[in-house]
A and B are shown apart, each in its own frame.
Chain A
Amino acid sequence: MKYTFRVLRFDPTRDRDPRFQDYVYEPRGKTTVLEALMDIRNEQDYDLSFRYSCREGVCGSCGLVINGRFDLGCRTMLDTLDSDTVVLEPLPNLEVKKDLVVDMAPFWKALQEVEPFLFPADEAPEREHRVEDRQMEKIDQFVSCILCACCYGACPVVARDGSYLGPAALAKLNRFVRDPRDRRPFRSWAKVDTEGGVWGCDTVFRCNEACPREVRPADGIQALRRAMTWNKIKRMFKRER
């Protein structure tokens, strides 16, 4: 069976506008979108650029829009697509650097803003923290995020407001806020108590659909909202006393 790959091509340092280029491709056996791209690059066009690394869905390099759907190129089998035309576009909401390679800088910047690292207690325990598996299971879903930015590309709020932190960063913040070992003070993460933070989410759950790892980032945002409100109420009462 022959496929037509319609791939977005653009080099902003040379081209005025992006364009689609068609490549005819015949897979040999069970083939992923990423494997097909590599064959096309090797056999037809060595100027075609895209990111890749692990090829097993864990490194997060190859988030793409594949026939209008967000997924990792490496874990999308050609025979699961309903069409013999495969349209490949770079992740939206991020500027194209070249072809399918996007500028991830705003995504990493948003991540850095939520301080995505454990705030340790003043005194570290001698051995490991004693925490039960069921406590850790609460963050399991968010720990499995690979930061591929599919959710960021799919988010309609990011599309209209570049200052919104986006689903992945907020879900990551929730991962730490819920970690029984984390001691971040409320005032430190209350800075996402804004329209650019937790209240920006439209709750249309595009991020949940786009996520290739079933992280369900919107769950994290909702959880943060609840925790935010709960903390504010607690503080109100504290002040009154």
Chain B
Amino acid sequence: MIRHDILIVGNGLAGLAAALSADPKLSTAVISKVHPLRSHSVAAQGGVNAPLGNSPAGRDDSPERHAYDTVKGGDFLADQDAAELMCREAVPTIIELEHLGVPFSRFPGGVIAQRPFGGAGFPRTCYAADRTGQVMLHTLFEQALKRNVKLYNEFMVTKLVLKNGRCCGVVAYAYDRGEFVPIRARAVVFAVGGYGRLYLRTTNAYTTLGSGIGLAFQAGLPLKDMEFIQFHPTSLYGKNILISEAARGEGGYLVNCRGKRFMADYAPQAMELAPRDIVARAIQTEIDRGRGFEGEYVHLDLTHLGRDKILKRLPAIREICIKFAGLDPVETPIPIQPAQHYSMGGIDVGNDCATGVPGVFAAGECSCVSVHGANRLGGNSLLETVVFGKIAGRSASLYARGAGAGPAGAEKALQDGLRKVEKQVEGWEKRTEGVPIHHLLQRMKVLMTAKAGVFRDRKNLREAVDGVLQMRRDYGRVIRTGRNRRYSQEIVNIFEFEHSLELAEAITRGALHREETRGSHFRTDFPKRDDKKWLKHTLAYLRNGKVELGSKKVRFTKYKPEERKY
């Protein structure tokens, strides 16, 4: 049996940061559905926040101001000590990344350039043109090559195996061999990203179905704040490819069909640079009230920025527009609409990235510390991946060094897990009639988009919960039509769907339960924030196959809840 001290699931920024900070004396491996450079971190564009104060307008910036913006941007649901921790680590983290080779863009004088981003009091977002995620991911991958980090690429974890409440390891599907393999690990770190593909319109890669979060939930780990889903204001109409917030940071306008910069009606001070939840709702409202184009989108106008600025600061955005929409933003406004972008919620962890299960850790988008609260600020997710990825690597090392032999009977538990997984697949294959997986997936996407989107209410959320429960029943009829188990995306898709069932229920139940409006969670039937009743995290547990909800206190330090005005 393959054995490691630490197994990191997911090889995006959080996973690689965890691997690089793990104790080199321990045996560490990273397992993922894709090669590291294919992870969704690569698609991050606009930048990463740190109060370097490099911009003349940012001289007074500080970790405290960064933390305040983060907490306020999150509508006061973030755990304030966690947000402070992240913001304290921001400057050293960016400097470290720069020293490792990240080619950040520069200001005259040679210091790292910083641009304004939504909800931030100062220009705080460091960037490498508009491909910041790409250069950060490539740099961490280069470091992983340098250190010979063991990678299992094109392996999908299909089960987390626990015994007596402790971590034994995982069962994984090996694409190349077309087989399932048990992997023993004293510590497992989840760094599996989000679940955008549960929605029809998402900026996320095809691979992000929340399978990793789902299988952790199935194994008994609680999820936190799942009702908080970020819809990015500006995705390219049609393909929903991300058009970075940097486009507005550099001065882009949002314009409706009457030619009006409509943000004046929603956030007169911050205008286009209000936090994402506010801008996304403003755009959706304009569209819903008939002030969009073709009833589907509004314009993101960059034409006044000039060719030089667009070519230098937003070259990838321009290329995306030319390639996927057949228009050049130098000359033509970009048609954009909101799309699912990010999950604020995730596997419940503390500031040390530890879950409630000894030996299981989580970091990055799949986790919920919580630093983002009810709405994440642009530029904070890349920061979170590296800061908390590193913490997770160190916490897992500390645990693995002290964990001893692990739970008795771990290997047997893994073998049992393997047999269960194999039986499952045989079940799909034996069925002679049933529903193909892409039908089920499509139904899930339609349901989540229609019933648990930007604007929510009790009736729709009730239907969402019922719909998800129906999907759980229908999954029992899933059929596998392929006959070759090597490189079978069908096997991957069925597992992804299966893992996302209870996850989708946690999202929709959480949203139905929370009768207030906070950050990204907007209830048209409860349009006000209600701190008396709801200034608390939602926890979702899976008990005997049923999703149950609880709550958890928000940790405060010095930032008092106030009304969010921008």
Contact = CB atoms under 8 A, between A and B. Distances in A.
B is a partner of A = yes
Contact of A97 (B105, B176, B324): B176
A129 interface: yes
Interface stretch (A141-149, A188-196, A197-205, A229-237): A141-149
Interface in B1-51: 34-35, 37-40, 42-43
A81 interface: no
A210 B145 CA distance: 26
B521 to A, nearest CB: 28
A58 B134 contact: yes
Give the most central of A13, A53, A97, A98: most B CB within 10 Å.
Answer: A53
Interface string A123-135: 0110111111100
Contact of A52 (B39, B108, B206, B242): B206
B486 A179 contact: no
Nearest to A180: B110
A6 interface: no
Given A56-B320, A57-B320, A46 B481 contact: yes
A59 B103 CA distance: 18
Interface in B53-86: none
Contacts of B145: 111-112, 116-117
Nearest to B178: A13
B316 interface: yes
A171 to B, nearest CB: 13
B488 A46 contact: yes
A24 interface: no
B201 interface: no
Give the most central of A41, A45, A99, A127: most B CB within 10 Å.
Answer: A127
Given A46-B490, A118-B100, A124-B99, A53 B38 contact: yes
B291 interface: no
A132 B101 contact: no
Given A130-B109, A132-B108, A179-B103, A75 B484 contact: no
Interface residues of B, number: 61
B122 interface: no
A97 B99 contact: no
Nearest to A124: B99
Contact of A104 (B35, B100, B481): B35
A130 B482 CA distance: 56
A188 B105 CA distance: 28
Contacts of A38: 206
B146 interface: yes
A97 to B, nearest CB: 6
Contact of B37 (A45, A146, A181): A146
A136 B103 contact: yes
Nearest to A118: B101
B269 interface: no
Interface residues of A, number: 57
A128 B490 contact: no
B101 A117 contact: yes
B487 A97 contact: yes
B480 A56 contact: no
Given A49-B488, A124-B99, A54 B238 contact: no
Interface string A30-68: 100000001001110111010111111111110000000
B203 to A, nearest CB: 9
A41 B109 CA distance: 53
Contacts of B131: 58, 144
Contacts of B143: 117
Contact of B486 (A49, A51, A111, A115): A49
A77 B322 CA distance: 12
Contacts of A176: 101
A56 to B, nearest CB: 5
Interface in A102-121: 104, 111-112, 115-118, 120
Nearest to B111: A128
Nearest to A214: B319
A58 B316 contact: yes
Contact of A53 (B206, B242, B490): B206
A111 B206 CA distance: 26
Contact of A131 (B42, B106, B316): B106
Contact of A55 (B34, B108, B205): B205
A43 B436 CA distance: 9
B110 A131 contact: yes
A55 B486 contact: no
Given A58-B316, A117-B101, A101 B146 contact: no
A193 B107 CA distance: 36
Interface string B92-135: 00110011110111111111110000000000000011010011
B323 A42 contact: no
A141 B51 CA distance: 29
Given A61-B38, A116-B145, A47 B488 contact: yes
B34 A53 contact: yes
Interface string B315-339: 0100110011000000000000000
B99 A120 contact: yes
Interface in B171-218: 176, 205-207
Interface of B: 34-35, 37-40, 42-43, 94-95, 98-101, 103-113, 128-129, 131, 134-135, 138-139, 142-143, 145-146, 176, 205-207, 238-239, 241-242, 316, 319-320, 323-324, 436, 438, 480-484, 486-490
| Nearest 3 A/B pairs, CB to CB | A118-B101, A130-B110, A46-B482
6 contacts: A42-B438, A46-B481, A47-B484, A129-B98, A132-B106, A179-B101
